[in-house]
Amino acid sequence: MEVLRLAVSATQRGKLISAGYTSLSSLSSLSPSDLARDLQISESEASEILKAASHCGRLDNSDGSHAIVTGAQTAWDMFHEEDLSRCITTSCADLDNILGGGINCKEVTEIGGVPGIGKTQLGIQLAVNVQIPVDCGGLGGKAIYIDTEGSFMVERALQIAEACVEDVLEYRSLRKNFQACQVQMQPKDFLNNILYFRICSYTEQIAVINYLEKFISEHKDVKIIIIDSVTFHFRQDFEDMALRTRLLSGIALKLMKLSKKYSLAVVLLNQVTTKYSDGSFHLTLALGDSWSHACTNRVILYWNGNERYAYIDKSPSLRSASAPYSVTGKGIRDSASNYKRIKMM
């Protein structure tokens, strides 16, 4: 762990490690106030740590021996970082379970399903949940919501935010952590922290995604990007399907890079379509075969009888599994029938 080499006090080092700052690179893009908040120390103390880190970083670079592998990481370091990188809860325990704790930061997750299955609901839920404060196990970040379909409804987001505030207050009162309660949480603040872009054509979509890099470098507290849906504008008159594939893979690469660089989660919502092959129609996620390689994880939402289910279709680290969830007035929650089952036991 690189922080062990920093010229800071042992308590500071301990705080850094427990907050997840193990490498110099993780400190390089931080502002003192961010660090102060994460470690709960004064801002001047934080800026001293950052100074020490940048000094240490310079030494490393001038050293020369590391030069050839600058930017490279050992698998061991990556493993540790992965351990520390946090998840955004979906508010449904079963769904979190199969996702390995929730939607992973640093990864691009694609979620697809038929109209009305709850894609937008899940998107809004994540945009709210990313803001759950750090002391309640959240990320305390902001969300970028790129709406291509116009299904984002302010009142629905407010409803979900209200339920989330209730949950947070309940969590805090359970832990009797009244000191942290001083920060008042208003559902309206949640809306303020959803940075909303309404997109009306694929040119705009590409423009916004190109612009995100700059935007996020100015808004480092963004922890999730949601595109609802990545598909919509790419399903009309593309004569040149090869061009479409190139544009889409360009988008995917940029988002992948952003998610790694700023350790934020990217969630792409996708539609389903019928595919004609071998003389019959099948159901599949839209945008074709080459797109299916573009995302790290792929989750499919579907109806199973009267229940909504999510299925991990593709993931490098998660096993394929499915779990029920439900869409309630409060947002995404555990499946009702499952809840009953637990209660009965």
Partner 1 sequence: MFPNPHSQNKQTSLSLCVYLMRPENLLKQQEEALTTQKCSVGCPVLDRFLRGGIPCNSITELVSESGCGKTQFSLQLLLSAQLPLSLGGLSSSSLYLHSEFPFPLRRLQQLSHSFRSSHPTLFSSHDPCDSIFLHPLHSAHQLLDLLHNKIDSLLSNPPPNTQLPIKLIVIDSIAALFRSEFDNNPSDLKRRSSLFFNISTKLKSYANRFGLAVVVTNQVVDFVGSSDGLNGLRVGNLACLYSSGRRICPALGLSWANCVNSRLFLSRNEEVLGKETGLVDDDGFVQRRTKRQIHVVFAPHLPESSCEFVIVREGVFGLER
**What residue ranges bind partner 1 (CB under 8 A)?**
114-116, 120-121, 144, 149-158, 188, 191-192, 194-201, 204, 207-208, 211, 215, 231-233, 235-237, 271-274, 276, 281-283, 303, 306, 329
Q: Which is nearer to partner 1, 137 or 150 (CB)?
A: 150
Q: Which is nearer to partner 1, 21 or 190 (CB)?
A: 190
Phi (first) and psi of residue 296, to 5 degrees: -70, -50
For the chain, give the number of residues.
345
List residues bridging with 144 in a β-sheet.
Answer: 195, 225
Q: Which is nearer to partner 1, 114 or 136 (CB)?
A: 114
- What is the nearest approach in angstroms of partner 1 to the Cβ of residue 39? 29
- What is the nearest approach in angstroms of partner 1 to the Cβ of residue 284? 11
Q: Which is nearer to partner 1, 171 or 311 (CB)?
A: 311
List residues bridging with 281 in a β-sheet.
Answer: 276
As a whole number of angstroms, the distance between CA 251 and CA 138 comes to 28
- What is the nearest approach in angstroms of partner 1 to the Cβ of residue 216? 12
Phi (first) and psi of residue 104, to 5 degrees: -80, 135
CA 93 to chain centre: 17
- What is the nearest approach in angstroms of partner 1 to the Cβ of residue 83? 33
Longest dimension (CA), the chain: 69
Q: Which is nearer to partner 1, 55 or 282 (CB)?
A: 282
Q: Which is nearer to partner 1, 12 or 148 (CB)?
A: 148
The packing angle between helices 32-39 and 10-18, to 10°, is 90
- What is the nearest approach in angstroms of partner 1 to the Cβ of residue 235? 4
Residue 263 neighbours by CB distance under 10 Å: 20
Query: Which run of H or E residues covers position 179?
Result: none
- What is the nearest approach in angstroms of partner 1 to the Cβ of residue 288? 13
The sign of the dihedral angle between the CA atoms of 298, 268, 257, 88 is negative
Phi (first) and psi of residue 219, to 5 degrees: -125, 80
As a whole number of angstroms, the distance between CA 77 and CA 12 comes to 21
Beta strands in the chain (DSSP E): 87-88, 103-104, 108-113, 142-147, 194-198, 222-228, 265-277, 280-285, 297-304, 307-314, 322-328, 331-334
DSSP state for residue 90 in the 8-state scheme: -
Query: For residue 215, with 0-12 CB atoms within 10 Å meaning exposed, 13-18 middle and 19 or more buried, which class applies?
Result: middle
- What is the nearest approach in angstroms of partner 1 to the Cβ of residue 340? 18
As a whole number of angstroms, the distance between CA 319 and CA 114 comes to 23
Q: Which is nearer to partner 1, 22 or 120 (CB)?
A: 120
- What is the nearest approach in angstroms of partner 1 to the Cβ of residue 145? 8
- What is the nearest approach in angstroms of partner 1 to the Cβ of residue 196? 5
Phi (first) and psi of residue 235, to 5 degrees: -105, 10
DSSP state for residue 91 in the 8-state scheme: S
Q: Which is nearer to partner 1, 47 or 151 (CB)?
A: 151
Q: Which is nearer to partner 1, 17 or 206 (CB)?
A: 206
As a whole number of angstroms, the distance between CA 27 and CA 55 comes to 12
